[in-house]
Amino acid sequence: MLRLFRLAKIFWIGLRFGLDEFLRTGGRGGWIGRAFGALLPFRDLSKPRAVRLRLALEALGPIFVKFGQALSTRRDLLPEDIADELAKLQDHVPPFAAELAMAEIEQAFGRPLGEVYARFDARPVASASVAQVHYAVLPPGKHGGTEVAVKILRPGMLPVIERDLGLLDSAAILAERLFPDGRRLKPREVVGEFAKHLYDELDLMREAANCAQLRRNFADSPLLAVPEVYWDYCTTTVMTMQRMHGTPISQVDKLREQGVDIPRLASAGVEIFFTQVFRFGFFHADMHPGNIFVSTEPETRGQYIALDFGIMGTLTDVDRNYLAQNCLAFFKRDYRRVAQAHLDAGWVPPETRVDDFEAAIRAVCEPVFDRPIAEISFGRFLLRLFQESRRFNVEIQPQLVMLQKTLLNIEGLGRQLYPALDLWETAKPFLESWMSEQIGWRGFMRTLRAEAPQWATMVPTLPRLVHKAISVNPAAPVEQKVEQLLAEQRQQTLLLVLLVLLIGTLTVLQLFTFWRA
């Protein structure tokens, strides 16, 4: 019953803001507008359609706001008026009252606001779909006088999100049962993945941990700055972090005036993305322009500043290696290797003909090479891949959905920042270097160093294990048992010698590398 009520509310809000206008684009369906106009004469349609669309998404709640945020980065797919208006959803969602924010802080810490912060600005500096941000100053103590940004969760978010997720789950069940590709696309798993990340956003302690992890990953990096978290001032509903100073990345003209090298900035953005995905398997999955600033300070000019860590993506070592191999094969136009990688990963049925799959991939990929990002639409590219994957029954991998979403955000940012960027040439050297580290001698030595403690514990136990194995067959002659034991001891000694030699070699290489540096 609650879902039906919510569905009716969605339909009503759409009518109230005149979204039926989008059903009759190009002159079709004029009777729809006339019918609704007669039934709902009180509707105020004086505002432009883009404004009414934004207001409707805001009225529908956080999930729909996030949908609008994602759309706002796809200027190649949207009319200019709609893209400009939806961009306001990135950090200009109507704020909730300052009194509610202050009450939330006092409830979270159990003491008056003046004891939590030395100064608190009641005017929010940013307001998003699930939280808003205020500036403050920490009281005397370990970090006394430090300027901070305080993120406060919107009150009453959970019931609304649970209702909307229920609607999405119901839609996924219908899609799974009614559409031919329903099961292959795994819509319920995709909704489950989205729900997981959305619930994570409602726990600001989890977001603070995400922020701290990303900061460690990019410690001392000249490419990306991440704010410090002040744990004594964090709870599940309040997060306190270092205040960052910079210019929003969407203000390209202003960045140029401030002396930022835009082509270099665009190239650094690609490197940051691939570093997060492939080197760490931990990436910012909500990279719309409202969450990215650029430093204009003389010593850090051109450095990215990351904000809002509620949605982070993770990839396993298997996922990363699979993606890297596919990307490298793709950059080299080795489509057979791409097809074979899909087959080896079990993402296509084992009876699939590799040559047919290779030809289909070539037909999709060839048109996008040797073109700057301004001439490439990842939206259309992914659509073509989707159409070909349907032919070959490729299974959709829910764990990669966040990565696909982030790729679309990256494309939208790239178009705004520097459309002439050659994405392929920028990314290829990084991926080749990373793959060399993974499968070359550096990767071997790193794996050896990681496994050495386990080997050192395991090798001394071999005689006991051998004795236990021999004792299983008591009928064997004593001489045979002794000979087996001596052979195993010789192997153990050889293994220990090899282990010492390998560790010694690793130490020498490290010292040599340090000396050269």
| Model confidence pLDDT, tens digit, residues 134-190 | 999 999 988 889 999 999 998 888 777 777 777 777 767 776 776 666 666 667 776
415, two tokens: 């178009």
**Beta carbons within 10 angstroms of residue 197's beta carbon:** 17
Q: Which of 294, 281, 287 is nearest to 308 (CA)?
A: 287
Q: Note the pLDDT of residue 29.
A: 44
Question: Above 50 in pLDDT, residue 260?
Answer: yes
The listed range with the strongest mean pLDDT (45-59, 254-268, 502-516) is: 254-268
DSSP 18: T
- DSSP conformation letters of 242-303: E----EETT-HHHHHHTT--HHHHHHHHHHHHHIIIIIISEEES---GGGEEE--SGGGTT-
The answer to whether the CB of 306 falls within 8 A of the CB of 284 is yes
Percent of residues, the chain, with pLDDT higher than 70: 66
233, two tokens: 């001032």
Average pLDDT, the chain: 76
286 in active site: yes
Dihedral through CA 112, CA 116, CA 121, CA 127, nearest 10? -100
When pLDDT is averaged across residues 367-384 and rounded to a whole number, the result is: 65
Alpha helix segments (H runs only) across 45-112 = 49-60, 62-72, 80-86, 98-109
100, two tokens: 């509610």
Q: Which of 162, 174, 226, 170 is nearest to 198 (CA)?
A: 162
Identify the residue whose tokens are 């094969």. Answer: 329
Q: How confident is the model at residue 82 (pLDDT cuts 50, 70, 90)?
A: confident
Q: Note the pLDDT of residue 228.
A: 97
Please compute Rg for the chain using Cα positions. Answer: 28
Q: Note the pLDDT of residue 511.
A: 46
When pLDDT is averaged across residues 461-472 and rounded to a whole number, the result is: 58
b/e 149-159 (16+ beta carbons within 10 angstroms → b): bbbbbbeebee
pTM over 0.75: no
Question: Above 80 in pLDDT, residue 267?
Answer: yes
Q: Please provide residue 240's backbone torsions phi and psi, each rounded to the nearest 5 degrees.
A: -115, 125
Question: Above 50 in pLDDT, residue 456?
Answer: yes
- DSSP conformation letters of 402-437: HHHHHHHHHHHHHHHH-TT--HHHHHHHHHHHHHHH
CA dist., res. 315 & res. 297, Å (int): 34
Between 437 and 445, the more confident residue is 437
Given 91, 164, 286, 308, the catalytic residue: 286
Q: How confident is the model at residue 236 (pLDDT cuts 50, 70, 90)?
A: very high
- Per DSSP, the three-state class of 152 is strand
